[in-house]
Chains A and B, each alone.
Chain A
Amino acid sequence: MSDKKPKNVFKEGAISSAFIGESIAKHQTKTSIGAHNIFLGQVRADVINGKTVSAIEYTAYEDMANKKFHEIRESAFEKFDMTCMHIYHSLGTVKAGEICLFVFVSSPRRKVVFDALEYIVEEIKAHVPVFGKEIFEDETHQWKVNS
């Protein structure tokens, strides 16, 4: 099921719950699947030095990022017996409480999807050149660092 050509993982703005719902619905025809697992990254309204984060503005080195997403995808298919996997990441402004990362894995069996999802999300955090600018309510900003 792995594509040969890197596809574009990025979506402009937040990932809507309708889009996530439709993605789930699309898998109802794939009846060899017995388990799905979903990770949703949500923008947190962190309070830093008394200022609250109201949104994150995402930019990326898109060509390299899509290449890295593709490599993660290939290695995940090698490691885990998955039926399919999908990754979507936001670019541009995503407000606190909205979804910025959607990872969706499916397999005939449940154990695989727990391990696969964790692997994929950690790989994304470590290796994909995406940059988040945390915008505070007073319109100042700082650059987010993954912990």
Chain B
Amino acid sequence: MNITIKYFGQIAEVTQKESEQLDFSEGSIAEVLDVLYCKYGTLKNKEFKIAQNQELVSENEKLTGAEIALLPPFSGG
């Protein structure tokens, strides 16, 4: 399945882009992260949460969504 991955804040500085589309077969969020860690060397040192279809999920969550987002620490307000 084709998944849109969105990057924000300091994570977007690491990836040098705000989003991209990657193709995955079935699996978990962890498999997406493996690919991203491989692609972006310094991503592993960054703190972030993961959202799947706009809900926060853990790495073990099954990949269901069309949209994954990597969210650095929130700093609104």
Contacts and interface: CB of A to CB of B under 8 A. Distances in A.
Given A59-B9, A61-B51, A61-B69, A129 B74 contact: yes
Contact of B74 (A63, A101, A128): A128
A120 to B, nearest CB: 11
Most buried by A among B6, B51, B55, B76: B76
Given A59-B9, A61-B6, A67 B74 contact: no
A133 interface: yes
Nearest to A39: B77
Contacts of B76: 58, 60, 65, 89, 101, 124-125, 128-132, 146
Contacts of A126: 74
A131 B77 contact: no
Given A59-B8, A61-B6, A131-B72, A101 B54 contact: no
Interface size class of A (residues with CB under 8 A): 20 to 34
Interface in B47-77: 51, 54-55, 69, 71-77
B11 to A, nearest CB: 9
Contact of B77 (A64, A67, A100): A100
Contacts of A145: 73, 75
A127 interface: yes
A61 B75 CA distance: 12
Nearest to B73: A145
A130 B73 CA distance: 9
Contacts of A41: 77
Closest 3 CB pairs of A and B: A130-B76, A131-B9, A64-B54
Interface of B: 6, 8-10, 51, 54-55, 69, 71-77
Interface of A: 41, 58-61, 63-65, 67, 89, 100-101, 121, 124-133, 143-146
